[in-house]
Amino acid sequence: MSFLVLVLVLWVEKFSALRQRLQRDGFFLGELVRLERSGKVHPWWSLAILVLAPVAVLVLLLHVLEPVAYGLLALPVHLLVLIYSLGRGDAKAALGPFRDAWRRGDDQAALHVAERDLGLVADDAPSLLIRVQGYLVWQAYQSFFAVIFWYFLLGPGAALGYRLLALCGEHSGQPALKAKAEQLRHALDWLPVRVLALSFALVGNFVAVMRVMLHELLNWRISAGHLIARVGRVADDIPDAQDSQRGLARLDSLWELLLRSAVLWYTGFALWTVLV
């Protein structure tokens, strides 16, 4: 059933607006603010309430539903949870104003819209382009690849837990709670980000990626965002000297690299489903 749900998610993404209607975080963020304002709950207990409790309820619900009607009642729950667990927004669409400014050759406008829309700050256009490239790869990873990895490996509870931890880390105003959420998310990112990096090697520049991964494969301290952005750039196989002239082409090439990796993952999921 997991592979069927993964295929249905692609169909919903392409032909439906269900994701925008389903991804409403108001209640969760309200509970986060309430716990932070109380000031009486330890960060670990806050994470248990905000993340572990919803995951436990979901696992219990699926345990009840899966034996009924050959699991057909559990299928929509899987689908809805996975859609909710995907990242917020559309990374490629968010680059639209930046692409327009870069196409006009207006560096100041590109710097402004990158700070306004993407939260990226840079001193000049070349360094901004590198940061935008990293932003695209990271957003694709954390919005899609990490979620489907944990869903296929451990089920919808793991996918939901990953997204709730991400929301805590992004929106928490309490430093201790934010730090704990980011630590747990770093642990959850360690394996899937390296699997995606190795996927880049198979669909991109194998030698360049492996040269990086030989040094960083077991490095616990490197962040997932930094690692996947670095590997994505070398896997894309476009010389750095051409970045300023081929900035938009580089972004398109990185997106194609991500699409090829997604096809590789789905092929692997399909083979695993058939053979196991």
Residue pair 64/200 in contact (Cβ under 8 Å)? The answer is no
Q: Which domain holds residue 155?
A: 1-275
Say whether pLDDT at 192 is over 80.
yes
Closest CA to 71 of 7, 5, 1: 1
**HSE-up (13 A, CA, CB side) for residue 100:** 7
Q: Letter for the amino acid at 204? A: G
Q: Letter for the amino acid at 105? A: G
How confident is the prediction for the chain on average, in pLDDT?
Answer: 90
Residues 6+ apart with CB under 8 A from 5: 75, 78, 79, 82, 151
Q: Give the C-alpha separation, 138 to 153, whole Å.
A: 21
Helical H segments across 205-246, by residue range: 206-216, 224-236
Higher per-residue pLDDT: 77 or 16: 77
Mean pLDDT value of segment 226-230: 94
Angle at CA of residue 13, ends 7 and 19, nearest 5°: 120
Count of beta carbons in the 10 Å neighbourhood of residue 25? 15
Residues 6+ apart with CB under 8 A from 99: 248, 251
pTM of the entire predicted model? 0.93
| Distances from the Cα of 38 to the Cα of 44, 182, 237, angstroms | 15, 21, 51
Name the DSSP letter for residue 218: T
Say whether pLDDT at 243 is over 70.
no
Mean pLDDT value of segment 158-165: 97
Q: 181 is written with which tokens? A: 């959420």
User: Which pLDDT belongs to residue 39?
Assistant: 72
Q: Which of 74-78, 91-95, 240-244 has the lowest mean pLDDT?
A: 240-244
Closest CA to 86 of 4, 190, 166: 166
Say whether pLDDT at 57 is over 90.
yes
Mean pLDDT value of segment 44-55: 94
Count of domains observed in the chain = 1
User: Which pLDDT belongs to residue 90?
Assistant: 87
Angle at CA of residue 214, ends 213 and 216, nearest 5°: 55
